[in-house]
Amino acid sequence: MKAVVVVREDDGQVLAARGALCETARERTRGLLPRASLGMDEALVIPTQSVHTFRMRFAIDVVYLDRGGRVLGVHHRVGRGRILPWRLRARAVVELAEGQAAALGLAQGQVVAWRPA
């Protein structure tokens, strides 16, 4: 996985100083499965249109982004064993620690981007 910093373009706020971008199918498949937790300053960026939380050990927040990084929707406190809806216009999701999307004020229409760490 490639180390990235995830930011909100609208105001430049750093959403995750320790982010990771999944670049291969294997990385996308593994995702956060090997992790026991996700820190408040961490995020996982996955090029996909949907995610699931089967075999995960903790809840997460999931932010759907379109091709331009615009937030299409936010799912808060997604527990284990869930399948989230497939979004036709989504090109990536950002997985954050449980409660972080609300704490950061992430909302539909904002623009999120990532850059090399």
Which sequence spans correspond to the domains of the chain?
A: 2-116
Q: Assign domain 2-116 one CATH number from 2.60.120.1140, 3.30.2130.10, 3.30.70.1450, 1.10.10.10.
A: 2.60.120.1140
At 88 the pLDDT is 94
Judge whether residue 31 has pLDDT over 90: no
pTM above 0.85, yes or no: yes
Judge whether residue 32 has pLDDT over 90: no
Q: How far is CA 10 from the centre of its chain?
A: 17
Q: How does residue 86 score in pLDDT terms, banded at 50, 70 and 90?
A: very high
**Considering only CA atoms, which of 37, 51, 44 is closest in space to residue 18?**
44
